[in-house]
Amino acid sequence: MNKNRKALVVFSGGQDSTTCLFWAKANFEEVEAVTFEYGQRHYQEIEVAKSIANDLGVRHHVLDMSLLNQLAPSALTRKDQKIEHDEGELPSTFVPGRNLLFMSFAAVLAKQIGARHLVTGVCETDFSGYPDCRDIFIKSLNVTINLSMSEDFVIHTPLMWLNKEQTWELADHLDALEYVRDRTLTCYNGVQGEGCRECPACLLRNQGMVNYLNRKEEKI
Amino acid sequence: MNKNRKALVVFSGGQDSTTCLFWAKANFEEVEAVTFEYGQRHYQEIEVAKSIANDLGVRHHVLDMSLLNQLAPSALTRKDQKIEHDEGELPSTFVPGRNLLFMSFAAVLAKQIGARHLVTGVCETDFSGYPDCRDIFIKSLNVTINLSMSEDFVIHTPLMWLNKEQTWELADHLDALEYVRDRTLTCYNGVQGEGCRECPACLLRNQGMVNYLNRKEEKI
């Protein structure tokens, strides 16, 4: 694609970003990964991300984004409000526009480590309702970060138009289906691999896999 | 300009952003200000910013951006490197693209406090060499932050095409020349008001004032 063959993957240790990490390993000479720690995810997710990056031989940056708490509605209205987090719901620390902040930080980090390519697993297909997962936002951001640093970054979104079934297919093509199935963490209840099988994330993930495997079998 | 008459000013307590604060007070019904604390400025600057916001009756947010240190070249290469800061030079914590990060945080904060208007004192005239002070960057960012949150923010840059002399003229038109002269802090050596009169910031600021006052006198 370009002389600079180094990529930085925005990486959470879940199915989507782990598939992106395999994709980046297949498409770039050098790959690093960055995980944002913001007190909103299971601590276990950071550990899972670390171990996957280690398995794949990828240098892994963990950035402390706890300052996001300063911007949460709770922090701005009542300083003494307790931060709560019910499973499967948006926590009171939820901050709109946080993907803008994460991607901007990723771009600044990419500049610092000399990577021209940024990879993120955002996806418009299972539209989450977050405007900053849309393709048009990513494209506009790409222009803005390039202007901000007089650089020529390319943001890659290999999952943008895939549904979950197709994301499993991509993992399979990358010879990573079993690894992604067994080692990633998507489950709201913090169960690695196939998960609790009950939460919305598990249902979506497992239905996608079943659909893909059925389709694959029909072909044979 | 618009039904939503609330503005958030990105505010450091220096000449430019204080002039912008007076400008915002003259143009909007409600004004708040945000200062970014990132261990790169004199601690005194934060105190000056607080006292000016207090004088003007403006609600003042101070956001801790010390996480920027995680992105400094020193932090990424040698964990044990001491952070140094020589007067008048870029400190080793300097992070390219930091205006992208600050403006993005300001936008998220604006969303949280219900302000539609963002005001920043960036200026292309005395071009600093920072690509993220350019008008084209600000315009692109405006589109990007609107897409990121499905909002209709307007970024105002009243100083974009003014030189220092014209910035003094604007302060004078806002009946704020004496206040800005006496109470703001621009000096690299941390001297409030007219400053040390020797550092590059003082020379630029004072020459601008002399030029403006001379021109004003000729008119009379």
pTM assigned to the model: 0.88
A193-208 pLDDT per residue, tens = 889 999 888 999 999 9
Give residue A93's pLDDT band: very low, low, confident or very high (50, 70, 90). Answer: low
Q: Is A191 helix (H, G, I), strand (E, B) or coil?
A: coil
> What's the pLDDT score for residue A85?
44
Q: Is A68 helix (H, G, I), strand (E, B) or coil?
A: helix
- Residue A169 maps to a domain: yes
Closest residue in chain A to residue B106, using alpha carbons only = A71
- Residue B201 maps to a domain: no
Q: What is the mean pLDDT of residues A94-107?
A: 88
Answer yes or no: is B81 a known binding residue.
Answer: no
- Residue A13 maps to a domain: yes
Q: Is B31 helix (H, G, I), strand (E, B) or coil?
A: strand
- Residue B216 maps to a domain: no
Answer yes or no: is B21 a known binding residue.
Answer: yes
Residues A72/A95, Cβ–Cβ less than 8 Å:
yes
Closest residue in chain B to residue A140, using alpha carbons only = B144
CA B6, B48, A70: angle at the middle one, nearest 5? 55
Q: What is the mean pLDDT of residues A77-95?
A: 48
> What's the pLDDT score for residue A188?
84
| Containing structural domain, residue B143 | 6-185
R_g of chain A, CA atoms, integer Å: 17
| SS3 readout for A71-99 | HCHHHHHCCCCCCCCCCCCCCCCCCCCHH
ipTM: 0.88
HSE on the CB side for B181, CA within 13 Å? 17
Q: Does residue B2 carry a pLDDT above 70?
A: no
Q: What is the mean pLDDT of residues B164-180?
A: 97
Q: What is the mean pLDDT of residues B12-27?
A: 96
> What's the pLDDT score for residue B110?
96
**Domain count across chain A:** 1
Q: What is the mean pLDDT of residues B88-114?
A: 81
- Residue B195 maps to a domain: no
Minimum mean pLDDT range among A131-140, B25-34, B128-137? B128-137
> What's the pLDDT score for residue A81?
42
The CATH number of the domain where B65 resides is what?
3.40.50.620
Q: Does residue B209 carry a pLDDT above 90?
A: yes
A120-156 pLDDT per residue, tens = 999 998 666 789 999 999 999 999 999 999 999 999 9
Contact between chains at B71 and A112 (C-beta distance less than 8 A): yes
> What's the pLDDT score for residue B40?
55
Q: What is the mean pLDDT of residues B182-205?
A: 90
- Residue B217 maps to a domain: no
- Residue A194 maps to a domain: no
Q: Cβ of A84: how many Cβ atoms within 10 Å?
A: 10
Q: Is A4 helix (H, G, I), strand (E, B) or coil?
A: coil
Task: State chain B's mean pLDDT as an integer.
Answer: 87
Minimum mean pLDDT range among A124-128, A167-171, B121-125? A124-128
Contacts with B144 from chain A: Cβ below 8 Å:
100, 137, 140-141, 143-144
Between CA A181 and CA A213 the distance in angstroms is 12
Contact between chains at A104 and B97 (C-beta distance less than 8 A): yes
Q: Which of B64, B104, B137 sits opposite A100 (nearest CB)?
A: B104
**Bridge partners, residue A36, by sequence:** A63
> What's the pLDDT score for residue B193?
87
> What's the pLDDT score for residue A94?
64
Q: Residue B31: left (phi > 0), alpha (psi -120 to 50), or beta?
A: beta
Please state at what angle helix A98-113 crosses helix B98-113, rounded to 10 degrees. 170
